Structure 1
């Protein structure tokens, strides 16, 4: 009896051929979305790491912006906000990029703290995010002379 049902389905024009095409297209679309998300996440990670490295370099340069003082026969290095800002601005300005200094200061006269910011634009989605995603990084470095 089951043989007659199969003949009846074929006679009515019901055919299973080609029904895997929507499934294959769905999996291809899913694979493309996963690849795209991985590319965007990797690009964001690398952009943040580049900004972290720039903040580290600017803070290190800012820590070298000290003034040597001789008080009561004792020599010591002292950082000023102006010295830190000048050195950090020179480093950030020398590197081609869209980063800018938000703050460059010395909280204690021995350490330089620099905050830089940039905007990340996701690949393939830039038209949908025209202003980009703001990124920020802060680094602190201490002067070697004390």
Structure 2
């Protein structure tokens, strides 16, 4: 009587050969997907931290682009937008990171503010994000002489 239901073997249990293989393959695919996501997330985090460090270095270099003025007997360091940009651009250009300066200037004549941007491309699965993900970092640094 082979009608409905599972085919029974000699011991009276159902035939379930191969079902473990499907589970193992399913969990393997899930594990690989989680691994790919973790690799991409880690690379994105590291790229953002590198860009943050580059923005910090560019702002620090921009803060060195001051002009020294003496008012009475007191020296005063004054920053200009052109001086900040002049100091920050070579550092970003030769840093070894494909980044560009979005903005470099001084909001108050004493602080240098630099904003850099870059595109992040995932190391795995990059066909899904062909244009990349835009990253941006800003940093501010003050001159030593006020």
Q: Same fold (TM over 0.5)?
A: yes
Matches within 5 A, 1:63-82: 63-82=63-82
The match for 1:143 is 143
The match for 2:4 is none
Larger helix share, 1 or 2: 1
Residue 19 in 1 paired to residue 16 in 2?
Answer: no
Query: Which sections of structure 1, spanning at least 5 residues, go unmatched?
Result: 1-7
More divergent stretch after superposition (93-102 vs 60-69): 93-102
Please report the TM-score for the alignment, with normalisation by the length of structure 2.
0.89
Kindly tell me the number of residue pairs found equivalent between the two proteins.
Answer: 138
**CA RMSD between the two structures:** 1.5
Superposed displacement of residue 42, structure 1:
0.3
Q: How far apart, in 1, do the equivalents of 2:91 and 2:67 lie? A: 18
The match for 1:10 is 9
Matches within 5 A, 1:104-119: 104-119=104-119
Q: How far apart, in 1, do the equivalents of 2:87 and 2:66 lie? A: 10
SS in 2 for 1:9: coil
Query: Which sections of structure 2, spanning at least 5 residues, go unmatched?
Result: 1-6
